[in-house]
Amino acid sequence: MKKLSMDELERLSVEEFKETQKSPLCLVLDNVRSLNNVGSAFRTGDAFRIEKIYLCGITGKPPHRDIQKTALGATESVDWEYCSSTLEAIEKLKKEGFQICGLEQVDRSIFLHEFHPQKECKYALVFGNEVFGVEEEVLKACDHVLEIPQLGTKHSLNIAVTMGITLWDFMVKLEQF
């Protein structure tokens, strides 16, 4: 066994990435305060070839060195748009036919492993502020609220970890590999 070289990985160039078909997924960042988490959204979004990232409210925007440090250039490949409010982004996405899935712990959430996305649908995944989570009014606008079950003493996962788990789960269930 040996690690693969960059040539052996056969990664797309930024230009090829821009031209290739995307997975039916978008990310919506609802007032995410950490620029490192924003950078992680870009890097993870690139890895799963998502359609777009919506940066909402106080969420930082490229170019910024702290975003770039984590994104490793993915701000160049992944399309993004800024919206002053998350509800504005959700309204736009609904008009484009997206199902909106918030990731949060609520009384009627669906465990991620029990949610079955439909192959003919497009999904926008909403991730909230590191302290306060997804805003209540945003949750009310979601079609589904999903939760990653946890067994430890902490009540949440880092947003970057949550994005990775959720995108992987959707990609597998939508047979995007």
pLDDT value at residue 33: 97
Q: Is it the case that residue 155 has pLDDT exceeding 90?
A: no
In the sheet that 98-103 helps form, which strands lie side by side, from edge to edge? 80-83, 52-56, 25-30, 122-128, 98-103, 144-147, 110-111
Q: Residue written as tokens 């736009």?
A: 92
The tens digit of pLDDT for each residue in 84-100 reads: 999 999 999 999 999 99
pLDDT value at residue 7: 87
The tens digit of pLDDT for each residue in 4-55 reads: 998 899 899 999 999 999 999 999 999 999 999 999 999 999 999 999 999 9
The tens digit of pLDDT for each residue in 89-148 reads: 999 999 999 999 999 999 999 999 999 999 999 999 999 999 999 999 999 999 999 999
pTM of the prediction? 0.96
Residue 78 Cα to chain centre, angstroms: 11
Average pLDDT over residues 63-71: 97
Domains, the chain, with CATH or none: 20-173 (3.40.1280.10)
With residue 163 as reference, give the H or E element that holds it: helix 159-173
Peptide bond between residue 63 and the one before it cis (omega within 30 degrees of 0) = yes
| Residue 54 phi, psi (nearest 5) | -105, 120
